[in-house]
Each structure stands twice: as structure tokens, then as C-alpha cells.
Amino acid sequence: MILRSRLMCLCSVAFAAGYGMPAAAQQVTLPEGCTAKVTVQIRSCEVQHYFTCAADPTGWQRTVSYTPDGMVYAGVIDAETQWIESLSIARGISESLMADPADPASLTELLAMAHDSFDFRTDSPQAGMMRFVGQDSLTGKTVVIDGVTLDQTEFSMIAYDAEGAEMWRSAGNEFISREWGRFLPGTSTIKTDEETYDADDTPVDFAFPGEPGFLTVNPQYGCDAVMSRAPVHPKVKGDAS
């Protein structure tokens, strides 16, 4: 989830401009000092890349996401999967965690107690302050996707604006990789005053260094049947998921 303190590496916007996509190779080129771990093909016509950068604090992990329109998201989490910062490129909104969360999210507590609550605030130059309150629980179920074992979680979350009015709420199931120490997206329902959205961002397959599809920018699944998506980026702790 999100512990947004002063960034010690690259901010989202600077990072987004710091790597390229060779046209011929159609692959992500990460900045110097960054090492990719895995490429994840998502069911909703999206491909995500998880990586670390030597200049970041210990335990930080980064994510970038691509759709057929190009890069749409960049984010960073800490060792507890707290969401440090994110950039939604499609919406032009960057967010960063405000200091001293009332209830910081904790992967350690979730794995030890099978439940973790959170209550934190973010700030955005474009969208202003928001407060996020919710919980994660382990369901006790594990799944194996393309040879990778994941624990299933259940979550709920409400987003409030600076005045305390509810903006949207989301609930559903995600996954945890204990080996990688991070969340992966799953299924969710997002509700606003006007609409309700269902999303299926479940991983389909994984490509590791040296395997076909590693660092590709081309999504492989669901691109002929992409539904309208919510105008929010629900809690995804691996991208700040």
C-alpha cells in the first residue's frame, strides 16, 4: 500500500521520462541502475513490469504498466507494500503519500495475522488531498498461475476528498507473492455516485529474464474485449496496484 515520504530516488514524472521504448524491439528500456524482475501479462489488455533501482531505499519496488496506447502508469512501493507514489499518465495525475499515516498498511501484519487495516492520506498537485481507508485479509486460498504460487486476498477501500466526502469505494480480491513481497492485481468492483465498474486485472502469465515476452510493451490478453474502466486507479499495492 502506501507510505509516502520524501522520495530518495526519481519522482514519478522524472522516472517516466527516464526510460524509453525502442521502436524496433518494442521493449522497455529501464534507466541505468534499475533491474527488471518479471513481466506480467494482465487479463485486461495490460502488461506490467516489476523492477528495482539501486538508488532507491532498501525494499522499494517499482512498476510500470502498458496498454496498446503506451505507458499508462508508473508507481513505487516500499518493503511493506506501502504505496510511495504513483503517476497515472492517461489522467495526468501524480500522487504521493503524506507523512505520518494514521494506520500504515503492513504486509508483515497481513501475513502474520491474516488481516491488516489502513488509513492514510495522499497529496496530488492536480487532484489535491485524498484519504484512503480500508482493509486487506487473506482468504486462506492459494492459486498457481503460470507456475507462480500466489495467496489470494480480499480487500475493501473507500476514498474521500479533502472535505471528507466519499469519492468512490472499491472491493474485491487481489493476490500476494510471498517470494516477491508484493501485491498483484485481481478482480474488483468500483462504485461512484454515478456508476459501478467491474474490473478483472488477474495475471495470466509471467515472463522472467531470458524468456520470450520479458520487458515487452505489448499486452497479449483481453485486448479485443476491453470494457470501460473506472476513472480511478484502485488499490493495487504492486503498483501501487
Give the per-residue pLDDT at 224.
86
Residue 232 has pLDDT above 60, yes or no: no
Helix or strand (DSSP H, E) at 112 = helix 107-113
For the chain, the average pLDDT equals 86
Confidence of residue 123 (pLDDT cuts 50, 70, 90): very high
Q: How far is CA 160 from the centre of its chain?
A: 19
* Plot region of 48 (φ>0 → left; ψ -120 to 50 → alpha; else → beta): beta
DSSP state, residue 92: T
Confidence of residue 149 (pLDDT cuts 50, 70, 90): very high
The whole-number average pLDDT for the span 145-161 is: 98
The whole-number average pLDDT for the span 187-215 is: 96
3 vs 121, more confident? 121
The whole-number average pLDDT for the span 77-104 is: 93
Residue 95 has pLDDT above 80, yes or no: yes
The whole-number average pLDDT for the span 119-123 is: 96
Confidence of residue 202 (pLDDT cuts 50, 70, 90): very high
Q: pLDDT tens digits, residue range 46-65?
A: 999 999 999 999 999 999 99
For the chain, first and last CA: distance in Å?
Answer: 8
**CATH number belonging to the domain at 12-207, selected among 1.10.10, 2.40.360, 2.40.128, 2.60.40:** 2.40.360
Contacting residues for 166 by C-beta, under 8 A, at least 6 apart: 158, 159, 160
Confidence of residue 226 (pLDDT cuts 50, 70, 90): low
157 vs 21, more confident? 157
Confidence of residue 11 (pLDDT cuts 50, 70, 90): very low
Extents of the domains making up the chain: 12-207
The whole-number average pLDDT for the span 137-147 is: 98
Q: Which of 148-157, 163-172, 216-225 is least confident?
A: 216-225
Beta bridge partners of 3: none
The whole-number average pLDDT for the span 179-195 is: 96
Indicate if the alpha-carbon torsion angle 23, 24, 29, 35 is positive or negative.
Answer: positive
Residue 20 has pLDDT above 90, yes or no: no
The whole-number average pLDDT for the span 110-114 is: 98
Instruction: With CA atoms as reference, report the closest residue to 81 among 114, 52, 104.
Output: 104
